[in-house]
Chains A and B, each alone.
Chain A
Amino acid sequence: GQQLNQSPQSMFIQEGEDVSMNCTSSSIFNTWLWYKQEPGEGPVLLIALYKAGELTSNGRLTAQFGITRKDSFLNISASIPSDVGIYFCAGPLMGNNRKLIWGLGTSLAVNP
């Protein structure tokens, strides 16, 4: 099925470092969503973006909706061990009953 291009696939960082990951698509999206999934749990919504150019923060997390509407990035500042998990980007198909297209995820490991 259709997927978003998400990178990097995995990251291993030291506690306190900043993290950046991004998602790109060949299609235009009107909404970008960023989720975090921990082992054995369902994804949890972190940030939702609805407007091209929009920059939104949620604590140490910041996400931006690209001007072209074909990309988005998520930054995590001053990482801590509980940031460990898999981060997914997702966006709804245009006019398709809110069905989401997903990135393959970025697995984040934080060394304390």
Chain B
Amino acid sequence: GAVVSQHPSRVICKSGTSVKIECRSLDFQATTMFWYRQFPKQSLMLMATSNEGSKATYEQGVEKDKFLINHASLTLSTLTVTSAHPEDSSFYICSATGTVNTEAFFGQGTRLTVV
């Protein structure tokens, strides 16, 4: 399958600081990338959908100014958690789809801890 690389895998930051998470498709062009949040023992919760070169579409209840998404190229999307607070601590996962099928390939996830 296609490879999606997410970085960093773990990050600890102080409350009030911002954290950037990168998602790269390594061997295909990702026309669409998705950002998810996952709480322990729960399913994936979609936060936003981003298409290369256009603004991200956020799901209801997700603050776009809090979770900034940039999809500047067909192989890279970034999620920036701004002014992080302890309640933002979670597992964030990106996925990417190519131009042909609807299969989504996932990054390894980022465990964010805000202290």
Contact = CB atoms under 8 A, between A and B. Distances in A.
Q: How many of chain A's residues touch chain B, expressed as a range?
A: 20 to 34
Contacts, number: 68
Interface in A19-77: 31, 33, 35, 40-45, 48, 50
A31 B56 CA distance: 24
B34 A99 contact: yes
Interface string B24-53: 000000001010000001111110010100
Contacts of A1: 45-46, 59-60
- Tell me what chain B mostly uses at the interface: helix, strand, loop, or mixed: strand
A80 interface: no
A40 B46 contact: no
B109 A45 contact: no
B11 to A, nearest CB: 13
A58 to B, nearest CB: 11
Interface in A62-97: 88, 90, 92, 97
Contact of A88 (B1, B44, B45, B102): B44
A90 B93 CA distance: 15
A98 B108 contact: no
Contacts of A105: 42-43
A91 to B, nearest CB: 9
A3 B43 contact: yes
A98 B59 contact: no
Contact of A40 (B45, B57, B111): B111
A3 to B, nearest CB: 7
A42 B43 contact: no
Given A1-B46, A97-B49, A104-B43, A42 B104 contact: no
Contacts of A43: 44, 93, 95, 106
A45 B1 contact: yes
Contacts of B91: 40
Contacts of B51: 97
The 6 closest A-B pairs by CB, nearest first: A42-B106, A92-B102, A42-B109, A42-B93, A104-B43, A98-B102
